[in-house]
Amino acid sequence: MLRKIYIIFVFILSTLTLGCSQQESKPLVVPSEYQHAKDMLDLLNNEGLNIQEIHNSKYTAFFNTNPNYSMYIKTDMGIFELVHLEHKNGEEIDIVEKEATDSGEYKYVVSENGVDQLLILGSENYFNKSDEYITISRDKDLNDKIKKALEVQ
């Protein structure tokens, strides 16, 4: 009898401990220099991408964006780039994958208003595009999660 009471006590105690140790998800704190993309970052965070860090991206010059409009974002699923198109001209941009080379380079042609730019990357990348944003990810699962979140938008 005492043993049953002890087992029930341990079960209740462990249940309470686990229940109390779970943290509620915290709202995303977006640094001031990235406030222009707060709605998108909140959407991605709310759809299950736990955003851990945001930094400037190397794509600022490539997509001719303002400083801080191209973001390198670290999440619990991996890293992706988010390019905020301030002129909402995403419909004018086409991204076409070319064949990968034997040397492991992946080539993409990014066209905007009849001007083509060649983007050569060291691994396969996945792109999502809307009027206002382009996302670039190396991880298919992360890309699928981003794509799903963008469908909510």
Predicted pLDDT of residue 139: 96
**In-domain check, residue 94:** yes
Number of domains in the chain: 1
**What is the DSSP track for 87-127?**
T--GGGEEEEEPPPPTTS-EEEEEEETTEEEEEEESS--EE
pLDDT in tens, 88-135: 889 899 999 997 778 889 999 999 988 999 999 999 999 999 999 999
pLDDT confidence tier of residue 87, bands split at 50, 70 and 90: confident
Q: How far apart are CA 140 and CA 144, in angstroms?
A: 6
Q: How far apart are CA 2 and CA 122, in angstroms?
A: 65
**In-domain check, residue 87:** yes
Tell me the three state secondary structure of residue 67: coil
pTM: 0.79
**Rounded mean pLDDT of the chain?**
86
**In-domain check, residue 2:** no
Residue 115 lies in domain? 30-152
Predicted pLDDT of residue 20: 46
